[in-house]
Structure 1
Amino acid sequence: MEGKMKAIIKHHRDKGAKLKMVDIPQIKKDEALIKVKATSICGTDVHIYAWDEWSASRVHPPYIFGHEFAGEVVEVGAEVTNVKIGDSVSAETHIVCGECPQCLTGNAHICRNTKIIGVDIDGCFAEYVALPAKNLWVNDPDLPMAVGSVQEPMGNAVHTILAGDVAGRTVAVIGCGPIGLMAVGVAKAAGASQVIAYDLNEYRLNLAKEMGATTTVNSKEQDPVEVTMRLTDGNGVEVVCEMSGHPAAIDQGFKMLTNGGRMSILSLPVKPVEVDITNDIVFKGITVQGITGRKMFETWRQVAGLLGSGQVDVEKMITHEFPLEDFEKGFELMLQGKCGKVVLKP
């Protein structure tokens, strides 16, 4: 397809971005061109927009960023067989090599040669995006586009929660950004006996209640460890899902975890974090997991199942929708923490 399209460009190595007219991408024989109908703002996008230490060390402007979307296939390459024109799709954002030891042993989500859409290559904050067809997930045609656009981050929440046993267990979700909010809903759907949500932001704690949290804790006003011990008869929680990336919160997560518990860390601290390995890991006999991406495509099937069954209602935490041109409003809401998930409509 020839022509121009609107796209949000990370144009310089500083805070902000610009809306520009650029060429519609040309597809390769193994790719598909998707007309983006909805694209949501991720915490990673906020890092890039705000230009923190992590983004300054990782991304290379100018380029189109954004990686969460739903849209319609409008063109396919000559070798593409798994999707067709007219399909409603979202995308697995990790483009993997298929050849490294991790890929060859069923662990492509930790491929050593991963390239991420909107981080390492052009992304989806645009009217069109071209991607390898093998990365596309075909959506139920009745799935709302806004909901389709948050499946990728929901996959992170599902991967984090379901990385171990949850049913009948006490679960702490630290950090109620959009992925944390979805993690609350997933933990509840998976049968957790208690889902305790922690944040400093009352707006997001209220959303956590709507997503199914049995208890919310404002960590600015209460001691999170003290409250947790009281709620668990002094035992501590059995599962901690760390979504905040804040060093103090991470330390509190280790402290509130029961002996033999599981600590699953999805967050991305921007600096090294000090951990008391002796007392909080070794002597407690806990399991610490780093969580990255989604299992391809096991997690996607779980996400589709949870959405299709109605057990997790993500529409509750999609709080704002803007046209692509008003992207700055969305980013400022994210920076201020006065929103759940923000969706942009090209």
Structure 2
Amino acid sequence: MSGKMKAVIKHHRGVGAKLLMVDIPEIKEDEVLVKVKATSICGTDVHIYTWDEWSQSRVNPPYVFGHEFSGEVVESGYKVTNIQKGDQVSAETHIVCGKCPQCLTGQSHICKNTKIIGVDTNGCFAEYIALPAVNLWRNPTEMPYEVASIQEPMGNAVHTVLAGEVAGKSVAIIGCGPIGLMAVGVAKAAGASQVIALDINQYRLGLAQKMGATSIVNTKDQDPIKTVAKITDENGVDVVCEMSGHPAAINQGFKIVTNGGRVAILSLPVKPVEIDVTNDIVFKGVTVQGITGRKMFETWQQVSRLLKSGQVDVSPIITHHFPLEDFEKGFDLMLQGKCGKVVLYP
């Protein structure tokens, strides 16, 4: 397919982005072209948009950014056999090498040579995107495009929560951005006895309640360590899911976890974080897990089934809808923290 398309371009090494007309991407023999029906804004996109330290060291403008989407296959390369024209799809955003020790032992989600769509390659804030066919996930035809577009970040939440045992345990979700909110719903669906949501944003704590949090803690007004101790009868929580990336919050997570508990860290602090390893990890016998991406494609199957069964309802999280042309409104809401998930429609 030839022609032009509208796309949101990270146009320079600075703050902001521009909507421009660019060439529709050409596909390779093992790729497909997808017409994007819905695309959602991620925290990573906000990092790139605001041009923080991480993005300055990682991305190379100009290029199309964005990586969460759903759409319809409109063209495929001659070597593609797993996907057909007309399929409704989303995509695993980690492009892996298939050759490193991790890929060869079933751990491709931590491939040493990972490239991320919309970070290291052109992304989906556009009318069309070209992708390796092996990265596509076929969606049920009845799944709304806006719901299908947030499966990738929901996979992060599922991977974080379900990386260890959850049923019957108390779980603290630190940071109630969209992925943290999804984690609340996943923990509840997985049988957690208590789900405690912690944030400084009262709007998002309200969304956490809608997602099933049994307790909310506004850490701007309440001492999180004392409050969680009271909620858990002075025992602390069994599982901490760290989604905030804030050094103080990360340290609080290690203070509130019980002896022998688990701390799963998905967040990406922009600078090194100082932790009391002796007292908060070693002497407490705590398991610390770094979480990256989604297990390919085990996590995708879990996400799809949780959504299809209705065990996790993400509708409270999808709070705003804009045409692609109004992308700046979406980013403004994300920066203000006055939204859940923002979906854009090319």
TM class by shorter chain equals: over 0.9
Partners of 1:255 and 1:189 lie apart in 2 by 26
Q: Once the 2 structures are TM-superposed, how far is the Cα of residue 285 of structure 1 from its aligned partner?
A: 0.4
Q: Once the 2 structures are TM-superposed, how far is the Cα of residue 112 of structure 1 from its aligned partner?
A: 0.1
Partners of 2:180 and 2:17 lie apart in 1 by 26
For 1:122, the aligned partner's letter is: N
Q: Deviations over 1:67-100 (max 9, x none)?
A: 0000000000000011100000000000000000
1:54 aligns with 2:41: no
For 2:335, the aligned partner's letter is: L
Matched residue, 2:337: 337
Matched residue, 1:113: 113
Alignment of 1:269-280 (within 5 A): 269-280=269-280
Q: Once the 2 structures are TM-superposed, how far is the Cα of residue 282 of structure 1 from its aligned partner?
A: 0.4
Partners of 1:34 and 1:282 lie apart in 2 by 49
Q: Percent identity?
A: 77
Partners of 2:22 and 2:270 lie apart in 1 by 32
Q: Secondary structure at the match of 2:54?
A: helix
Partners of 1:224 and 1:55 lie apart in 2 by 31
Matched residue, 2:44: 44
Partners of 2:112 and 2:298 lie apart in 1 by 19
Partners of 2:52 and 2:308 lie apart in 1 by 37
Q: Deviations over 1:90-117 (max 9, x none)?
A: 0000000000000000000000000000
Q: Once the 2 structures are TM-superposed, how far is the Cα of residue 194 of structure 1 from its aligned partner?
A: 0.1
Partners of 1:245 and 1:119 lie apart in 2 by 19
1:294 aligns with 2:294: yes
Alignment of 1:1-346 (within 5 A): 1-346=1-346
Partners of 1:25 and 1:128 lie apart in 2 by 7
Q: Secondary structure at the match of 1:314?
A: coil
For 2:72, the aligned partner's letter is: E
Q: Once the 2 structures are TM-superposed, how far is the Cα of residue 316 of structure 1 from its aligned partner?
A: 1.1
TM-score scaled to structure 2, two decimals? 1.00
For 1:263, the aligned partner's letter is: V
Partners of 2:207 and 2:50 lie apart in 1 by 24
Q: Secondary structure at the match of 1:171?
A: strand
Q: Secondary structure at the match of 1:230?
A: helix
Q: Once the 2 structures are TM-superposed, how far is the Cα of residue 204 of structure 1 from its aligned partner?
A: 0.2
Q: Once the 2 structures are TM-superposed, how far is the Cα of residue 173 of structure 1 from its aligned partner?
A: 0.1
TM-score scaled to structure 1, two decimals? 1.00
Partners of 1:315 and 1:95 lie apart in 2 by 29
Q: Once the 2 structures are TM-superposed, how far is the Cα of residue 315 of structure 1 from its aligned partner?
A: 1.2
Partners of 1:50 and 1:311 lie apart in 2 by 35
How many pairs align? Answer: 346
Partners of 1:15 and 1:235 lie apart in 2 by 45
Partners of 1:315 and 1:49 lie apart in 2 by 26
For 2:125, the aligned partner's letter is: F
Q: Deviations over 1:99-144 (max 9, x none)?
A: 0000000000000000000000000000000000000000000000
Q: Deviations over 1:171-201 (max 9, x none)?
A: 0000000000000000000000000000000
Unaligned runs of 5+ in 2: none
Q: Once the 2 structures are TM-superposed, how far is the Cα of residue 166 of structure 1 from its aligned partner?
A: 0.2
Runs of 4+ that moved beyond 3 A: none
Q: Secondary structure at the match of 2:38?
A: strand
Q: Give RMSD over aligned pairs.
A: 0.3
Partners of 2:231 and 2:207 lie apart in 1 by 21
Partners of 1:15 and 1:290 lie apart in 2 by 29
For 1:249, the aligned partner's letter is: A
